[in-house]
Amino acid sequence: MSQQDIHFDEIFSRYRSDPFHYVDMCAVHAGQVQFLVEEGDEVEGVTGEWKHIPGSSLYRITRENNTKVVSSQTNGI
């Protein structure tokens, strides 16, 4: 066998043992997280004279059947 050979059985067995892609994140609460933006999306921070208008929604977290939306605090991409 040469170094160019691809071992598909090894690749498939590795994928089948753990097929998910994990993302480390820190959240203010524990629960199920649903991302509302994609990587590279533009977000806006809080606005308004008294900062009373929330920024773009980043993710939704559900904990004990209570949903909380976490918004961006700053502008960015």
- The domain of 57 spans 25-77
Contact 51, 71 (CB under 8 A): no
Domain count, the chain: 1
Asked if residue 10 is part of any domain, the answer here is no
Asked if residue 5 is part of any domain, the answer here is no
Compute the chain's Rg from CA coordinates. 20
Asked if residue 7 is part of any domain, the answer here is no
Asked if residue 73 is part of any domain, the answer here is yes
Q: Which residue has the higher pLDDT, 63 or 3?
A: 63
Asked if residue 8 is part of any domain, the answer here is no
Four-point Cα dihedral 64, 67, 72, 73, nearest 10: -70
pLDDT tens readout for residues 42-65: 999 999 899 899 999 999 989 888
pLDDT tens readout for residues 7-28: 888 888 887 887 676 777 676 6
